[in-house]
Structure formats: structure tokens, C-alpha cells
Structure 1
Amino acid sequence: MPLPDLSTYTPHRTITNAAFEGVPVPGLRAEFFHRTGGERAASAARYSMGGRDLLLAWGWSDEQHCRFSAVRDPEGFWHPETEGCPVVEILRDGEAPDAPVTGLAIRTPAGQWVTADRAPARSR
């Protein structure tokens, strides 16, 4: 399944400081799109941080989770799409479960992590 062409979708809503997996992530922008036609409505979401696209997720509006997803590398290329939602880790400023959220890391199909973090760089 190729990446969705968002120019064929209608913008639905945009959320700044969006939540991922129910956890608000400062600086995360989520843009949601819809496209009707046929029996089902298609949906897509583009996540970005600091003006850099991180993730595309798409599928059908009547499904709870994404059907496909793709991660964008900091170099600017999209990794191959995978079925289902990506593996995402919420990054925090410290080890405590209530430590402030600073960003997120998304695992590529090859097992590498792409991070978008507002805190100083640190090793994973």
C-alpha cells in the first residue's frame, strides 16, 4: 500500500500539543484528513514536530487503529509502510512515570528509532 496522497483528502482538524496513545506531547502537531467515496471513508493522519514530518498513519474512519503507517527519517525519506500502527515510545525528562514529556521515538521497520525530542540530545 503506497503512502496516501494527502492532496486527495480533505483536512478535518489539526491539534497542537497532540496526545499520542493518550499522552500529550508538547510540540507534537497532528493533522487529520478524510476522503469519502465508495462505501467507506478513508482517513489519514500526519504527525510532525518542529516543522519536521515524523509519521503518516492511514486506513478507514470506522476502524479504531491505523491500517498502515510510515515513519520519516530525519534525512527526509519515508521508510516503507507497514501494516498497523507503529511502535512509539514517549520520551520523558527523567525516569519517573510522571516526569515531563519531552517528545517521542518511533521505531522504523528495520528496528531503528527516529526521535523528536525537545530535551537535550541523549542516547537511547
Structure 2
Amino acid sequence: MKCPSKVPDFSLWGKYKSKRKVFIEGVGFAPGVRADFFQKEVGGRVLSAGVFKDDKNKILYTAWGFKDEPHCSFTAVMGDRGKWLAPMLGCPQVRTLVTSGVVVGIAIKSGSRRKKFF
């Protein structure tokens, strides 16, 4: 599947659940990260999207793809000015940021750099 040039408008999809604690692949449960999940039917298949936010309801990133596939098709990170950065193929590449043994934030790969959220 070709990578889209922009993030879909998830307000046009149906919201089907919210989670206060989310498991992030490769990270586990990241403190302060929650998510809303949306879906819509496309050609007999179901597209699903997670929109991940911090405790203050600030959007961090999104990942979406078909529910019948094992991994995300696309990921996009929210930029500093409240606009989505370019979507990328595949699942989000997330790392925890740790200071003195305490998780203080996450870093998400966006192109050739990592966007940090505290």
C-alpha cells in the first residue's frame, strides 16, 4: 500500500474506544500516554486508527492500518505547531526517555530524527 501524503481526518471515522493506559510495542505501558481509537469500513475491510495523547490531551502521534493485518500500515507524528508531520510507512518507533531511572517522556521517530515529548 502506498504511503498517503497526509493524515486522514479521523473525525469522519467512528470512535469505538478510549484507553487511559496503552501498551506501546517495544516500550510497554508508557506513563501519561492514552489513546482514542477510530475505525471505518473500506472495501469490505476495517481500517483502524489510534490517536495517542498525553495527560493534557495534547496529540503526540497516530498509527493506522487494516484490523486484519498484524501491524500498523502508517504512522504520523504531531509537529510543534499543531500540524501533522509527513506520514511514514509502518508502526511507530517509540522509545522511553529515562532520567535517574524514571520515565520522563517518549521519543518517536519521524523521518531521520526523533521527536521528543515530555
Q: TM-score per shorter chain, which class? A: 0.7 to 0.9
* 1:79 equivalent in alignment to 2:77: no
Out of 90, 97, 116, the residue aligned to residue 96 of structure 2 is 90
Q: Which runs of 4+ in 1 moved over 2 A?
A: 99-103
Give me the whole-angstrom Cα distance separating, in 1, the residues matched to 2:21 and 2:99: 16
* 1:12 equivalent in alignment to 2:13: no
Where does residue 29 of structure 1 map in the other structure?
34
Provide the secondary structure at the position in 1 that maps to 2:71. coil
Between structures 1 and 2, the one with greater strand share: 2
Where does residue 52 of structure 2 map in the other structure?
47
* 1:102 equivalent in alignment to 2:104: yes
Give me the whole-angstrom Cα distance separating, in 2, the residues matched to 1:58 and 1:100: 29
What stretches of structure 1 of length at least 5 have no aligned partner? 118-124
RMSD across aligned C-alpha pairs, in angstroms? 1.6
Give me the whole-angstrom Cα distance separating, in 2, the residues matched to 1:16 and 1:40: 27
Encode CA deviations 1:19-60: one digit per residue, 9 max, x unaligned: 211511111011111112422111111011122111111110
- Report the residue type matching 1:6 in the other structure: F
Give me the whole-angstrom Cα distance separating, in 2, the residues matched to 1:107 and 1:74: 14
Using the aligned pairs only, state the percent identity. Answer: 32
Give me the whole-angstrom Cα distance separating, in 2, the residues matched to 1:75 and 1:116: 14
What stretches of structure 2 of length at least 5 have no aligned partner? none
Q: Answer whether contact 1:93 1:100 (CA < 8 A) is retained.
A: yes
Q: CA deviation at 1:8?
A: 1.9
Provide the secondary structure at the position in 2 that maps to 1:7. helix
Count of residues paired in the alignment = 112
Over alpha carbons, which structure has the higher Rg?
1
How does the TM-score come out when normalised to structure 1? 0.80
Q: CA deviation at 1:92?
A: 2.3
User: Relative contact order: is structure 1 or structure 2 higher (C-alpha 8 Å, sep ≥ 6)?
Assistant: 2
Where does residue 43 of structure 2 map in the other structure?
38
